């Protein structure tokens, strides 16, 4: 009965050491260790496309998409131009149809849902090279797809047809770091986890963290306005990014790598590129403020009976943990099942029995004694009120990592379970989980799904996400991507979100997937203004075409 | 020896109650009480221009400024149009030259530095009225100045020539507030302090606070990207504003009043209007996230010998107070002298003797015992190391208010001391105060100033500001505004800031004052792009002309 860690009488809760000692017994020896926050080993998250070989061409899957004839077809002269202006290691070219498969990693998205047909991948090492590439493409009307770690989930980072891929993976240097202010300046191609490890040496941490951290680039994070698990505490990139270096489509370099916390000199242009998904230019450099790295962290995983209790526990967490609350995540039991199934020996259920919902609460602070006392009070109240049925509390970094593993591996586990329709939406917290319930019901009514049973086109309908931010990830895992399932889900999901005054994309962006559905979240006047902005920066429309805007 | 509050041996610092009791004796009975954070009485800050009667016309003071002849002169037909489309109380018109003085409050800035000649002030009550006004002005080429609380410091909120003033002061309703998420939606004309009082009833607080809070509008805060004293803890408006309703120059209403914490659906257009100073349209509605209101706050005022020690104490504050540190302000002794002189019976020196520098440290949290312990540890270390020579610690809200009064009244005290050249700049923290020293030296060399003595054109050169944000306010207080002093200060100050990789405007914006100097902080490519943005939104250039961009 290891869950008794949280099942003691209130009078015992003052003894935090005891509470944690009990909790510790819930951790099975031999759990995988991850680099989560305080550890040092690398995480198992892979960006290798699990289903790459099975991915159909985007152009065949979506026949309504037509190549824009105003874009030039790549010629051998173009390739020769790049060969003469870039070092040989910065260019990958598939001369024949057969060679195209060598570029599969650049043409196919991580989900195995989208596959383009680019034959040219450029991997510049400097901002000047990026500038020269874009100027040439702009003059020649060659369409371009900027690519970071290619961990996006909406088809935004791979070509649709024959666009030239400009990968930032060779621009991965830290340019400067200031210990006093915590301001980091780096290339856009730096991997998020590498940056986090780098600033950790100086007792700071990146203000964002997400499952793909081992592969995603900071430039991609910025271009998709990534959220992640630290958002609750450290807020939006619109607040933490201090400056950007951006190459505009015509090759102009906008150098605005300010390291100042405050700057009110003119329109804050950098904001336009945060979340622009590479449609206005290529982010090449980043200045970002990094907060001091907490010295005390604790993670609890709690078993909860209802979504109403998930909300009640959230309210209690905010009231009792306040400034040390750094994450409040939830997932449902089908999500837990998938993770445990695919983790194999790497993980097991942290509680004695299954619950309909699980909540992960993390505190981060600088005084362990104070923080433990606050966590203890919070858990005591949540248990006493009956909103939490069972739980475990971490005692060290390794245990925290095992708890986070359960939450962070859901996305990967879903994709391994089957082709996954992923929806990342913002919804006012009280209605959040209703989308999962209503979607299940709709698919059941349509005869496409029944109670996680086999033999139906849809295997599972799961929900998880960042409750504290009103951000739900709805995953519908199918036997295969089919028009029948697609049509049952879309525009249904988007209409549902619109009807509940939500956003059809909370943190994954629009990409190819959601571009046509933007009107569910933005007015005609807003979209027209966006189109004017796009036209102003990119009059030939060469940057990441077919995506983002309808 | 009331300062002994902080002068005890380390062993005594564990007893926080004792520390505070000692500190309490430093507070003189009868100090003014302000509404600072936890109080309820209104603040004495006045926006009545202290020197309004003496303010020369901007057009005469800056003869190089020429009225743009493409703007239509206001006709009686125009006035008649507005009379027929707006309720009578929404229009103020000066039919004759003599009547113009009745509009002085709308034509003159708070500093008494800029005075325009508008004869028409429109005060719409609804977004639709704003839309109709702008559409008419756009079609008729009538230039417009949007105006909030008119507390700006760079001449951005008053006309230069005969522009029509559109005041938001009649749009001052809260539209909604959500207790669970803390999201407030309101009209742009709401006064910041009124909003703070409103959300305080729901245990939340506005994420920004500044000296002008009793008069400034939230729309003006957003349009100037206001910073203020909570910036260190709660960050930029670019992070906390969730949505805006904006009327574009052609009358189009961009409704993006999202209440969602996360939304990645297209370019984040609202960001362009944050800090645009009304040059792209008029902000009419605001959605903003408000943090939970702390239940425990403490303020310490410390006497410090050198600016190096100001930095050392800052570092210690960050290390020891971390997530509960909510403000770290500093001011120099000449600033303190001005405040005490003008406060009269309202304030007296909090320490036993004068020091070259004063630091104000504020903590805000949710567990008084924990926070007091942290504050005690911080002060103990700072005193032990000798970086702090003396200090007082607040024991209640009233005392906190008296301490804040010293810091927040500096700006007003300066203007009462004499015509003030105000510079609001960002500079890397280590060099911050050197600007004050170098400016003093330069004015001394020029024979314009000597050691605060009378008989010189410049009375005082003072520095204060938000050390934690690298934000200095340099105030040069003169006998009168003269070309001689101006020329000694500009472009010198801007060049100095540029040479130290700072920003010529940290939180006050550009307005009329700094528009010509923007190139000291932004590159040619950045400024050109800004001009393209301006032209896209406002092709006729009617919005707040002559300002913001060079």
Of A227, A530, A549, the CB nearest to B262: A227
- Read off the pLDDT band of A388 (50, 70, 90): very high
Cα dihedral A509, A244, B221, B230 in deg (nearest 10): 100
Q: In angstroms, what separates the C-alpha of B191 from chain A's closest C-alpha?
A: 21
Instruction: Give the residue on A whose Cα is nearest the Cα of B523.
Output: A255
CA distances from A85 to A91, A129, B27, B333, B338 (A): 10, 8, 72, 60, 63
Which residues of A fall within a CB distance of 8 Å from B258? 503
pLDDT higher than 70, residue A42: no
User: Token pair of B328, please?
Assistant: 């770290």
What Rg do the C-alpha atoms of chain A give, in angstroms?
A: 24
Q: Is B235 in Cβ contact with A235 (below 8 Å)? A: yes
CA distances from B485 to B105, B348, B417, B477, B481 (A): 27, 32, 16, 10, 7
Q: Whose structure tokens read 């006497």? A: B303
Q: So what's the pLDDT on residue B439? A: 98
Q: So what's the pLDDT on residue B514? A: 95
CB count in 10 Å sphere of residue A344: 8
Lowest mean pLDDT among B44-53, B435-444, B482-491: B44-53
Q: Is B322 in Cβ contact with A510 (below 8 Å)? A: no
Q: Is B239 in Cβ contact with A238 (below 8 Å)? A: yes
Q: In angstroms, what separates the C-alpha of A137 from chain B's closest C-alpha?
A: 20
Q: So what's the pLDDT on residue B51? A: 45
Instruction: Give the residue on B whose Cα is nearest the Cα of A180.
Output: B315
H/E element, B426? strand B420-426
ipTM of the modeled complex: 0.90
Q: In angstroms, what separates the C-alpha of B199 from chain A's closest C-alpha?
A: 16
Which residues of A fall within a CB distance of 8 Å from B505? 263-265
Which residues of B fall within a CB distance of 8 Å from A292? 318-319, 322
Question: Taking the domain B174-289, which CATH number applies?
Answer: 3.30.465.10
User: Token pair of A348, please?
Assistant: 């097991």
Interface test with A, best of B256, B265, B365, B468 (most A CBs within 10 A): B265
Q: Quote the CA–CA distance of A55 and A65 in Å, as a whole number.
A: 17
pLDDT higher than 50, residue B87: yes
Q: Quote the CA–CA distance of A31 and B508 in Å, as a whole number.
A: 54
pLDDT higher than 50, residue B130: yes
Interface test with B, best of A267, A290, A294 (most B CBs within 10 A): A267
Topology agreement, domain A174-289 and domain A418-513: no
Q: In angstroms, what separates the C-alpha of A7 from chain B's closest C-alpha?
A: 25
In three state form, how does the secondary structure of A291-322 look? CECCCEEEEEEEEECCHHHHHHHHHHHHHHHH
CA distances from B380 to B10, B358, B375, B376, B468 (A): 6, 17, 8, 6, 20
Q: What is the mean pLDDT of chain B?
A: 90
Q: So what's the pLDDT on residue A7? A: 33
- Read off the pLDDT band of A491 (50, 70, 90): very high
Q: Quote the CA–CA distance of B228 and A323 in Å, as a whole number.
A: 20
The domain limits of chain B are 2-30+296-408, 52-167, 174-289, 418-510
Which residues of B fall within a CB distance of 8 Å from A366? 322-323
How many residues comprise chain A?
Answer: 550
User: Token pair of B495, please?
Assistant: 């060049």
Q: So what's the pLDDT on residue B101? A: 84
Of A260, A373, A523, the CB nearest to B503: A260
Q: Please provide the DSSP assignment of A456-511 as one string.
A: SSEEEEEEEEEGGGTEEEEEEEESS--HHHHHHHTTHHHHHHHHTT-BS-SSS--T
CA distances from B403 to B23, B314, B400 (A): 12, 18, 5
- Read off the pLDDT band of B21 (50, 70, 90): very low
H/E element, B165? strand B164-167
Query: Could you read off the pLDDT of B399-438 as tens digits, one per residue?
Result: 999 999 999 999 999 999 999 999 999 999 999 999 999 9
Handedness of CA A211, A217, A221, A224 (dihedral sign): negative
Interface test with A, best of B153, B225, B263, B366 (most A CBs within 10 A): B263
Which residues of A fall within a CB distance of 8 Å from B526? 254-256, 266, 269
Q: So what's the pLDDT on residue A449? A: 98
**What mean pLDDT is predicted for residues A383-405?**
96
- Phi (first) and psi of residue B473, to 5 degrees: -105, 110
Q: Is A272 in Cβ contact with B525 (below 8 Å)? A: no
Three-state DSSP class for residue A191: strand
Query: Could you read off the pLDDT of B330-377 as tens digits, one per residue?
Result: 999 999 999 999 998 888 899 999 999 999 999 999 999 999 999 999
**What mean pLDDT is predicted for residues B226-249?**
96
Query: Could you read off the pLDDT of A213-241 as tens digits, one per residue?
Result: 999 999 999 999 999 999 999 999 999 99
- Read off the pLDDT band of A100 (50, 70, 90): confident
Query: Could you read off the pLDDT of A148-200 as tens digits, one per residue?
Result: 999 999 999 999 999 999 999 999 999 999 988 999 999 999 999 999 999 99
Instruction: Give the residue on B whose Cα is nearest the Cα of A428.
Output: B260
Instruction: Give the residue on A whose Cα is nearest the Cα of B203.
Output: A319
Hey, which CATH number is domain A418-513, 3.40.50.720, 3.30.390.50, 3.30.70.2740, 3.30.365.10?
3.30.70.2740
The proportion of chain A whose per-residue pLDDT surpasses 70, expressed as a percent, equals 90
More confident of the two residues B1 and B71 = B71
Contact criterion met (CB below 8 Å) for A453 and A503: no
Q: What is the mean pLDDT of chain A?
A: 90
Which residues of A fall within a CB distance of 8 Å from B375? none
Which residues of A fall within a CB distance of 8 Å from B508? 264
Hey, which CATH number is domain B2-30+296-408, 3.10.20.30, 3.40.50.1860, 3.30.70.2190, 3.40.50.2300?
3.30.70.2190
Query: Could you read off the pLDDT of A327-371 as tens digits, one per residue?
Result: 999 999 999 999 999 998 888 899 999 999 999 999 999 999 999
Q: Are strands A471-478 and A420-426 parallel, antiparallel or unpaired?
A: antiparallel
CA distances from B143 to B102, B166, B535 (A): 20, 10, 15
Q: Quote the CA–CA distance of B324 and B329 in Å, as a whole number.
A: 15
User: Token pair of B277, please?
Assistant: 């100073």
Q: Are strands A241-247 and A164-167 parallel, antiparallel or unpaired?
A: unpaired
Which residues of A fall within a CB distance of 8 Å from B131? none
Interface test with B, best of A256, A266, A324, A325 (most B CBs within 10 A): A266
Q: In angstroms, what separates the C-alpha of A271 from chain B's closest C-alpha?
A: 6
Q: So what's the pLDDT on residue A111? A: 84
Q: Is A536 in Cβ contact with B262 (below 8 Å)? A: no
Q: Whose structure tokens read 């994420």? A: B207
Of A231, A470, A530, the CB nearest to B267: A530
Of B292, B370, B503, the CB nearest to A265: B503
Q: In angstroms, what separates the C-alpha of B53 from chain A's closest C-alpha?
A: 30
Q: Is A365 in Cβ contact with B262 (below 8 Å)? A: no
Q: In angstroms, what separates the C-alpha of A301 from chain B's closest C-alpha?
A: 23
Q: From A173, A164, A80, select the one nearest A126 (Cα to Cα).
A: A173
Q: From A196, A147, A270, A87, select the one nearest A544 (Cα to Cα).
A: A147
Q: Quote the CA–CA distance of B137 and B71 in Å, as a whole number.
A: 10
Query: Could you read off the pLDDT of B210-221 as tens digits, one per residue?
Result: 989 999 999 999
Handedness of CA B335, B32, B325, B24 (dihedral sign): positive
Q: In angstroms, what separates the C-alpha of B426 from chain A's closest C-alpha?
A: 6
Which residues of A fall within a CB distance of 8 Å from B238? 236, 238-239, 268, 271
Contact criterion met (CB below 8 Å) for A62 and A513: no
Of A268, A324, A536, the CB nearest to B532: A536
DSSP H helical ranges for A69-172: 76-85, 104-107, 127-140
Handedness of CA B211, B213, B217, B221 (dihedral sign): positive
Q: Is A261 in Cβ contact with B471 (below 8 Å)? A: yes
Read off the DSSP letter of residue B543. Answer: B
User: Token pair of A40, please?
Assistant: 């040092």
pLDDT higher than 80, residue B224: yes
Q: Is A267 in Cβ contact with B275 (below 8 Å)? A: yes
User: Token pair of B58, please?
Assistant: 């901007």
Q: Are strands B144-147 and B164-167 parallel, antiparallel or unpaired?
A: parallel
Assigned fold of B52-167: 3.30.43
User: Token pair of B233, please?
Assistant: 């803890």
Instruction: Please state whether the peptide bond connecting residue B491 to the residue before it is cis, i.e. omega within 30 degrees of 0.
Output: yes
Three-state DSSP class for residue B519: helix
Q: So what's the pLDDT on residue A97? A: 82
Q: Is A370 in Cβ contact with B261 (below 8 Å)? A: no
Q: Please provide the DSSP assignment of A171-184 as one string.
A: ---EEEEETTTTEE
Query: Could you read off the pLDDT of B365-392 as tens digits, one per residue?
Result: 999 999 999 999 999 999 999 999 999 9
More confident of the two residues A37 and A353 = A353
Provide the edge-to-edge strand list for the sheet that holds B91-93: B91-93, B120-122, B164-167, B144-147
Q: Quote the CA–CA distance of B7 and B11 in Å, as a whole number.
A: 11
**What mean pLDDT is predicted for residues A449-477?**
96
Q: Whose structure tokens read 């709308």? A: B106
Query: Could you read off the pLDDT of B291-343 as tens digits, one per residue?
Result: 999 999 999 999 999 999 999 999 999 999 999 999 999 999 999 999 999 99
Q: In angstroms, what separates the C-alpha of B36 from chain A's closest C-alpha?
A: 21
Task: Tell me if the domain spanning B418-510 has CATH number 3.30.70.2740.
Answer: yes
Provide the edge-to-edge strand list for the sheet that holds B253-256: B174-178, B183-187, B282-289, B241-247, B253-256
Burial A16-51 (b: 16+ CB within 10 A, else e): beebbebbbebbeeebbbbbbbbeeeebebebebeb
Q: From B50, B121, B36, select the one nearest B79 (Cα to Cα).
A: B121
Which residues of B fall within a CB distance of 8 Å from A509? 264
In three state form, how does the secondary structure of B348-397 look? CCCCCCCCCEEEEEEEEECCHHHHHHHHHHHHHHHHHCCCCCEEEECCCH
In three state form, how does the secondary structure of A232-266 look? HHHCCHHHHEEEEEEECCCCCEEEECCCCCCCCCC
Which residues of A fall within a CB distance of 8 Å from B225? 264, 268
Provide the edge-to-edge strand list for the sheet that holds A91-93: A91-93, A120-122, A164-167, A144-147
Q: In angstroms, what separates the C-alpha of B469 from chain A's closest C-alpha?
A: 6
Q: In angstroms, what separates the C-alpha of B121 from chain A's closest C-alpha?
A: 26
Q: So what's the pLDDT on residue B346? A: 86
CB count in 10 Å sphere of residue B520: 20
Contact criterion met (CB below 8 Å) for A361 and A394: no
Q: So what's the pLDDT on residue B380? A: 97
Q: Is A470 in Cβ contact with B262 (below 8 Å)? A: yes
Q: Quote the CA–CA distance of B466 and A439 in Å, as a whole number.
A: 51
Instruction: State the count of interchain CB pairs (< 8 A) between A and B.
Output: 244
Q: So what's the pLDDT on residue B385? A: 97
Interface test with A, best of B262, B272, B513, B528 (most A CBs within 10 A): B262
Three-state DSSP class for residue B319: helix
Which residues of A fall within a CB distance of 8 Å from B280? 267
- Phi (first) and psi of residue B380, to 5 degrees: -60, -50
Contact criterion met (CB below 8 Å) for B21 and B81: no
Architecture per CATH, domain A2-30+294-410, reads as 2-Layer Sandwich (3.30)
How many residues comprise chain B?
Answer: 550
């Amino acid at each position: 009965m290891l869950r008794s860690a949280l099942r003691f009488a209130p009078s015992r809760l003052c003894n935090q050491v005891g509470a944690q000692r009990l909790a510790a017994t819930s951790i099975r020896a031999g759990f995988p260790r991850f680099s989560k926050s305080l550890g040092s080993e690398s995480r198992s998250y892979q960006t290798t496309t699990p289903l790459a070989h099975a991915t159909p061409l985007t152009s065949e899957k979506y026949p309504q998409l037509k190549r824009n004839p105003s874009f030039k077809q790549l010629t051998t002269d173009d390739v020769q131009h790049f060969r003469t202006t870039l070092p040989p290691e910065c260019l990958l070219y598939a001369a024949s149809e057969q060679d195209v498969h060598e570029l599969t990693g650049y043409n196919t998205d991580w989900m195995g849902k989208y596959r383009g047909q680019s034959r040219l991948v450029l991997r510049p090492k400097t901002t000047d090279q990026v500038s020269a590439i874009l100027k040439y493409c702009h003059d020649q009307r060659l369409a371009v797809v900027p690519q970071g770690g290619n961990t996006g989930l909406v088809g935004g980072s791979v070509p649709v047809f024959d666009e030239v891929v400009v990968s930032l993976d060779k621009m991965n240097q830290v340019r400067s770091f200031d210990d006093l202010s915590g301001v980091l300046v780096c290339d856009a191609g730096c991997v998020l986890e590498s940056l986090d490890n780098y600033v950790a040496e100086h007792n700071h941490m990146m203000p964002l963290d997400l499952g793909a951290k081992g592969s995603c680039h900071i430039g991609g994070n910025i271009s998709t306005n990534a959220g992640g698990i630290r958002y609750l505490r450290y807020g939006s990139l619109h607040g933490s990014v201090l400056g950007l270096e951006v190459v505009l489509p015509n090759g102009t370099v906008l150098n605005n790598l300010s390291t100042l916390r405050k700057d009110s000199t003119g329109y804050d242009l950098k904001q336009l590129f945060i979340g622009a998904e590479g449609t206005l230019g290529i982010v090449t450099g980043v200045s970002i403020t990094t907060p001091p790295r907490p010295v005390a962290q604790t993670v609890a995983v709690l078993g909860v009976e209802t979504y109403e209790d998930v909300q009640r526990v959230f309210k209690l967490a905010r009231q009792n943990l306040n400034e040390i609350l750094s994450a409040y995540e939830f997932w449902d039991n089908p999500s837990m099942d998938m993770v445990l199934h695919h983790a194999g020996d790497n993980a097991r259920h942290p509680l004695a029995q299954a619950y309909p919902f699980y909540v992960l609460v993390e505190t981060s602070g600088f005084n362990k004694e104070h923080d433990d006392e606050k966590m203890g009070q919070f858990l005591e109240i949540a248990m006493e009120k009956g909103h939490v049925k069972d739980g475990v509390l971490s005692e060290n970094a390794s245990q925290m990592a095992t708890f986070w593993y359960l939450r962070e591996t859901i996305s990967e586990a879903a994709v391994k379970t089957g082709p996954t329709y992923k929806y990342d939406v913002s919804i006012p917290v009280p209605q959040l989980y209703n989308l999962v319930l209503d979607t299940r019901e709709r698919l059941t009514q349509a005869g496409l799904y029944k109670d996680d049973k086999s033999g139906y086109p849809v295997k599972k309908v799961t929900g998880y996400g960042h409750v504290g931010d009103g951000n739900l990830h709805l995953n519908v895992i199918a036997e295969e991507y089919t028009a029948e399932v697609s049509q049952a889900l879309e525009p249904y999901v988007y209409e549902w979100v619109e009807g509940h005054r939500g956003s059809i994309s909370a943190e994954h962006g629009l990409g190819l997937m959601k571009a046509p559905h933007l009107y569910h979240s933005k007015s005609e006047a807003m979209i027209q203004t966006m189109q004017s902005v796009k036209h102003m920066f990119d009059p030939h429309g060469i940057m990441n075409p077919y995506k983002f805007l309808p």
